[in-house]
């Protein structure tokens, strides 16, 4: 025999040897063992080592299963966080980016890809290639900031210009922060991308508009002003080439006004061209007085006579906007060319419209005879409010838009200081900086809160310019502003959407997470306790289903208001979904100080609510955890409170449970039970028993119901009542339910081969029926058993299965009906049993619950219920079958009422499939039942 120490690992052998010696307390001075004794002792060591090895394997397997389950939970939480982050980034137009070191690998969020007009499938971000998309100045700024961040970890916040992957020029705001490991080595850079193109475009247009207005006020020549308009547009839109043509005095030809980037030969060729219905884009726009957009010059009929000229100049698209005077007269055209076929976006059309208006302003202003006409023309075309003061700041002129925005008429403000618009929302430092910028730089641009005449506040996007004379002395100040209150309100609404629940206006998960972090920091600093409560409304789902979602929403709003009324201002109440709320109680001097608040929350939840003349009653189940007794982080604290709430609900609802790791054994037990059920399914420990269903009147066998049992290897036969409730709402219930259907179909096949055609009914849980793919999966199971006619399978559902979503459940049932499978409603009479239920659900059979059948002989109420159910079945043309028929007397009472089908102990107990055939041979209906068949037979 080999030495056991050579068969098993030496370390394990030594530990087993030591344990055996410890057990035997063998003395060091004991006499030596004989060879036989030594051999016997080696065998004992070997056996003990094997037992120790098996025990270690079992522990390792248990630990592995626990780790896998925790990993799955963590992965689902990570996916949820990723979805929330992606949704928040999409709302705010903010994408994220991360660079790992030293690999320099880049990671972009979905919103970052969208901002750059690409996708993960089209582009894998790299550091060097990403830099290539920036304009040179922006690239240098970014490289310098990145270098400083790499060296010092300094956070930067830059506004840059770059091109997307579709060649679209955008403005982005990018910030970045560095993360270092414990040794001070850089491990990653994390930042954001925000598309600020709209804001920067608005700022550029504001500066552009101010620039043109300033030229006009300085009496600059029209040629200079038009050139400035075109150059400003081309500077901010490098892919565009601009031209401004003026209609001659006869109104028949277009003459050159400005075209800073077009070839000279092209300018000369189109100068003096006649307008007409097919005279290119500009000639047609001037002729019709309407915008003309030609996306492809090479194919458009308007350009048939000018196509070769345009192609020689490298021009392939032209969008032209007529320049109209204040009275609607055509003054010329403003056009944008591209060197490739191009379709305008809405903002492009808005651009040419705005520039045409600005050109109209320039043309009419320049043609005015005096300063008064110039001012009137400027004011009539400007969309901005305009305020002009003298050098001392006294108002000398305003336009009508100023009056529209502020409510002050011209007479109200002439000779007064603009201080009358102040809102008192800015301090003295703000205005000191404003005046410093005006005096030293000649202009100020920014946002300011002002007050209307009626006292309302508004936000203005404002540009103030200092106008100087030929000696450089300030003579006037020109203030141009737009009311952007609605934009600010929209931004506020977006922030509200991102942080607050749309229905109750309570903080959502995002804001709750932030509040929790702040509360934990405060608790750590102050040493005071913190309570987290997880609230779930009992009975809300039933109310929502019975009265509709609108009333359910009103109930949530009302209960939210009640909860807030019993909390302090410093506490947080958040709605995190459905009928679930989280309360954070701060600054608890004693851990038990949460109790009065808890009592008030339970009491206010239980108070009846009157909504739409309906008295609604709900209660609340609340789970609580206390910090720092529970030392978890913010997210884990909420999860612990949730677990405690679940236990409160299990204990009968309308109560609370305090989270305690040592006492929450029930949660662990439930998890272990579910894992044991999963193992039982894998190891084929489940079996089906079948209970026959007969026609009492004729004695015919009409089917059998499949009933699951658990043949436990150590506990023996376990009834379904011990394990089915655990899996009714757990995904493993879907696996068990599918096993039952597949096993039943296999048994039908087996019986058919023996010459027995016996339909089988199978019970479905609500979770199965509410799965969107149930009908498809049922079809696949039927296809796996091609010899079984679908009509041989009947699916039994309980009434409450359809309450979650009657429409979806009915659709699923109809899809199964289309496969040939029939439905029966089990335990009918114990649920809602509404006429709507009977009408909408395509079930052929109603099964009267055995509780009514059992007591119908002695209880008049149960008899009346049974009689009523049978009448309902007949009225709706449904079959009816009685469960729990335990005596002949039951059948004698049921048959005259119209219920001939039955099952129960009075007919047969559930049995193994192999026992069905012998039972059929023994089965004989009671003569007192078949008497009714003989009595109904026609007399000869």
Radius of gyration of the chain (CA): 42
Instruction: Give 664's pLDDT tier (boundaries 50, 70, 90).
Output: low
Reply yes or no on whether the pLDDT at 370 is more than 70: no
Predicted pLDDT of residue 51: 82
pLDDT tens-digit readout, 307-358: 899 999 999 999 999 999 888 899 999 999 999 999 998 888 988 998 999 8
469, pLDDT greater than 70: yes
Percentage of the chain exceeding pLDDT 70: 91
- Distance (Å) of CA 936 to CA 698, 871, 878, 880: 11, 20, 22, 20
Measured CA to CA, the distance from residue 178 to residue 190 in angstroms comes to 6
Q: What is the 3-state secondary structure (H, E, C) of 212-276?
A: HHHHHHCCCCHHHHHHHHHHHHHHHCCCCEEEEEEECCCCCEEEEEECCCCCHHHHHHHCCEECC
pLDDT at position 439: 86
Say what the pLDDT of residue 449 is.
93
Residue pair 215/228 in contact by the 8 Å Cβ criterion: yes
Q: Which of 590, 574, 592 is nearest to 582 (CA)?
A: 574
Closest among 732, 721, 620, 704 to 919, alpha carbons compared = 704
- The DSSP symbol for 799 reads G
Mutual angle of helices 888-897 and 927-936, in 10-degree steps: 20
- Tokens in use for 505? 């206006």
Using the predicted structure, report yes or no on whether residue 562 has a pLDDT greater than 90: yes
Please report which confidence band the pLDDT of residue 940 belongs to, taking 50, 70 and 90 as the band edges: very low
Question: Given a cut of 90, is residue 375 above it in pLDDT?
Answer: no
What's the pLDDT score for residue 73?
66
Q: What is the mean pLDDT of residues 23-29?
A: 53
What pLDDT does residue 789 have?
A: 94
Mean pLDDT of the chain: 85
Residue 810 has a pLDDT of 86
The residue count of the chain comes to 940
Q: What is the pLDDT of residues 89-144, one digit of tens each?
A: 555 568 888 888 777 788 888 888 888 888 888 888 877 667 788 888 888 888 88
- Residue 146's pLDDT is 81
Q: What is the pLDDT of residue 1?
A: 45
pTM for the full model?
0.37
**pLDDT score, position 840:** 78
Label residue 372 by pLDDT band (50, 70, 90).
Answer: low
Residue 661 has pLDDT above 80, yes or no: no
Asked if 834 and 867 count as a contact pair (C-beta separation under 8 A), the reply is no
What percentage of the chain reaches a pLDDT higher than 90? 40
What is the C-alpha to C-alpha distance for residues 153 and 176, in angstroms, rounded to an integer? Answer: 9
pLDDT at 749 over 90: yes
- Rounded to whole angstroms, the Cα distance separating 911 from 747 reads 13
DSSP 626: E
Compute the average pLDDT of residues 176-184. Answer: 81
Q: Which pairs with CB-CB distance under 8 Å and at least 24 residues apart come from 414-421?
A: 417/389, 417/393, 418/387, 418/389, 418/393, 418/479, 421/450, 421/451
Give the tens place of pLDDT for each residue, 191-230: 888 888 878 777 777 788 888 888 887 888 899 999 999 9
pLDDT for 902-931, tens place per residue?
A: 999 999 999 999 999 999 999 999 999 988
Q: Report whether 566 contacts 604 (CB < 8 A).
A: yes
283 pLDDT band, cuts 50/70/90, is very high
Residue 339 to residue 317: CA distance in whole angstroms? 7
Please check the confidence at residue 297 and state whether its pLDDT lies above 70: yes
562 contacts 604 by C-beta, under 8 angstroms: yes
pLDDT for 383: 80
State pLDDT tens for residues 848-903. Answer: 888 889 889 999 988 999 999 899 889 888 999 999 999 999 999 999 999 999 99
Nearest to 197 by CA among 169, 171, 174: 171
CA 52 → CA 17, 23, 48, 56, 294, distances in Å?
11, 14, 6, 6, 85
Specify the pLDDT at position 28. Answer: 44
- Low-confidence winner among 247-256, 269-278, 580-589, 802-811 (lowest mean pLDDT): 802-811
Mean pLDDT, to the nearest integer, of 816-822? 93
**47 contact partners, CB below 8 Å, separation of at least 6:** none
Residues 689-737 have pLDDT tens digits of 999 999 999 999 999 999 999 999 988 898 888 888 888 888 888 899 9
The rounded distance, in Å, linking the Cα atoms of 725 and 773 is 23
Which range among 363-367, 715-719, 787-791 shows the weakest confidence by mean pLDDT?
Answer: 363-367
How many angstroms separate the Cα of 471 from the Cα of each of 38, 59, 195, 216? Answer: 119, 93, 43, 19
Per-residue pLDDT for 252 more than 50? Answer: yes
Nearest alpha-carbon partner for 518 in 452, 437, 587 = 587
* Alpha-carbon distances, residue 131 vs 107, 146, 784 (angstroms): 14, 11, 57
Both tokens of 567, joined, read 């909390």
Question: Would you list the DSSP string of 598-609?
Answer: HHHHHHHHHS-E
């Amino acid at each position: 025999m080999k030495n056991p120490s050579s068969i098993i690992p030496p370390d394990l052998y030594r530990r087993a040897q030591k344990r055996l010696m410890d057990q035997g307390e063998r003395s060091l001075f004991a006499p030596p063992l004989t060879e036989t004794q030594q051999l016997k002792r080696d065998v004992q060591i070997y056996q003990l080592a094997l037992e120790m090895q098996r025990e270690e394997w079992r522990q390792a397997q248990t630990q592995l299963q626990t780790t896998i389950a925790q990993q799955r939970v963590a992965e689902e939480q990570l996916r949820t966080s990723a979805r929330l982050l992606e949704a928040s980034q999409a709302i705010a137009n903010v994408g994220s980016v991360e660079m790992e070191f030293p690999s320099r690998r880049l990671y972009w969020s979905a919103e970052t890809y969208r901002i750059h007009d690409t996708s993960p499938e089209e582009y894998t971000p790299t550091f060097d290639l990403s830099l290539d998309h920036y304009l040179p100045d922006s690239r240098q700024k970014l490289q310098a900031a990145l270098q400083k961040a790499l060296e010092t970890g300094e956070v930067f916040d830059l506004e840059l210009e770059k091109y997307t992957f579709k060649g679209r020029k955008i403005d982005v705001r990018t910030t970045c922060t560095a993360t270092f490991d414990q040794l001070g080595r850089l491990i990653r850079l994390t930042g954001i991308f925000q598309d600020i193109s709209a804001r920067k475009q608005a700022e550029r247009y504001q500066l552009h508009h101010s620039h043109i207005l300033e030229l006009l006020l300085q009496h600059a020549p029209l040629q200079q002003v038009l050139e400035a308009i075109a150059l400003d547009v081309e500077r901010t839109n490098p892919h565009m080439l601009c031209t401004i043509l003026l209609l001659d005095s006869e109104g028949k030809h277009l003459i050159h006004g400005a075209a800073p980037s077009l070839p000279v030969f092209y300018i000369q060729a189109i100068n003096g061209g006649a307008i007409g219905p097919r005279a290119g884009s500009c000639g047609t726009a001037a002729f019709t007085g309407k915008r003309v957009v030609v996306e492809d010059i090479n194919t458009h009929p308007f350009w048939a006579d000018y196509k070769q000229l345009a192609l020689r100049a490298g021009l392939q698209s032209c969008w032209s906007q007529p320049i109209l005077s204040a009275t609607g007269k055509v003054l010329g055209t403003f056009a944008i060319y591209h060197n490739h076929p191009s379709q305008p976006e809405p903002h492009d059309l808005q651009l040419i419209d705005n520039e045409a208006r600005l050109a109209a302003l320039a043309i009419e202003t320049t043609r005015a005879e005096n300063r008064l006409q110039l001012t009137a023309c400027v004011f009539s075309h400007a969309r901005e409010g305009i305020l002009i003061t003298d050098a001392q700041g006294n108002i000398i002129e305003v336009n009508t838009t100023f009056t529209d925005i502020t409510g002050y008429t011209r007479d109200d403000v002439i000779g007064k200081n603009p201080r009358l618009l102040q809102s008192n929302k800015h301090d003295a430092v703000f205005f000191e900086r404003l005046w410093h910028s005006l005096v030293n730089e000649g202009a100020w641009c920014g946002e300011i809160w002002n007050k209307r005449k009626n006292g309302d506040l508004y936000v203005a996007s404002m540009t103030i310019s200092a106008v100087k004379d030929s000696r450089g002395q300030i003579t006037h100040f020109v203030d141009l502003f737009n009311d952007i209150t609605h934009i600010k309100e929209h931004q506020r609404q977006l922030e509200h959407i991102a942080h607050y629940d749309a229905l109750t206006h309570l903080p959502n998960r995002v804001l709750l997470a932030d509040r929790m972090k702040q509360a934990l920091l405060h608790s750590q600093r102050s040493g005071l306790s913190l309570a987290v409560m997880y609230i779930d409304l009992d009975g809300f789902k039933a109310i929502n289903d019975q009265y509709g979602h609108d009333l359910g929403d009103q109930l949530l709003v009302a209960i939210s208001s009640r909860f807030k009324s019993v909390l302090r201002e410093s506490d947080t109440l958040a709605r995190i979904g459905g009928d679930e709320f989280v309360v954070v109680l701060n600054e608890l001097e004693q851990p038990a100080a949460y109790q009065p608040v808890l009592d008030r929350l339970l009491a206010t939840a239980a108070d009846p609510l009157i909504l739409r003349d309906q008295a609604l009653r709900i209660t609340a189940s609340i789970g609580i955890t206390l910090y720092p007794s529970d030392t978890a982080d913010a997210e884990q604290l909420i999860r612990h409170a949730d677990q405690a709430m679940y236990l409160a609900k299990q204990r009968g609802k309308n109560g609370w449970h305090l989270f305690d790791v040592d006492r929450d054994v029930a949660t662990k037990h439930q998890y272990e039970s579910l894992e044991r059920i999963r193992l039982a399914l894998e190891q084929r420990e489940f079996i089906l028993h079948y209970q026959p269903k007969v026609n009492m009147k004729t004695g015919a066998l009409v089917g059998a119901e499949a009933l699951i049992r658990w043949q436990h290897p150590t506990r023996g036969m376990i009834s379904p009542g011990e394990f089915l409730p655990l899996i009714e709402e757990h995904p493993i219930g879907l696996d068990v339910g599918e096993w039952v259907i597949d096993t039943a179909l296999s048994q039908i096949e087996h019986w058919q081969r023996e010459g027995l055609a016996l339909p089988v009914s199978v019970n479905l849980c609500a979770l199965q029926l509410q799965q969107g793919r149930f009908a498809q999966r049922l079809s696949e199971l039927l296809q796996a058993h091609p010899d079984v006619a679908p009509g041989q399978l009947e699916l039994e559902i309980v009434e409450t299965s359809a309450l979650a979503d009657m429409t979806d459940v009915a659709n699923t049932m109809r899809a199964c009906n289309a496969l040939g499978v029939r439905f029966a409603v089990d335990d009918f009479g114990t649920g809602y049993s509404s006429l709507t239920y009977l009408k909408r659900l395509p079930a052929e059979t109603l099964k009267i619950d055995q509780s009514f059948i059992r007591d119908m002989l002695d209880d008049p109420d149960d008899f009346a219920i049974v009689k009523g159910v049978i009448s309902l079945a007949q009225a709706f043309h449904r079959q009816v079958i009685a469960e729990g028929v335990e005596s002949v007397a039951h059948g004698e009472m049921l048959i005259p009422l119209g219920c001939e089908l039955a099952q129960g102990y009075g007919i047969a107990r559930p049995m193994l499939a192999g026992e069905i055939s012998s039972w059929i041979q023994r089965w004989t209906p009671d003569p007192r039942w078949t008497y009714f068949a003989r009595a109904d037979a026609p007399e000869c």
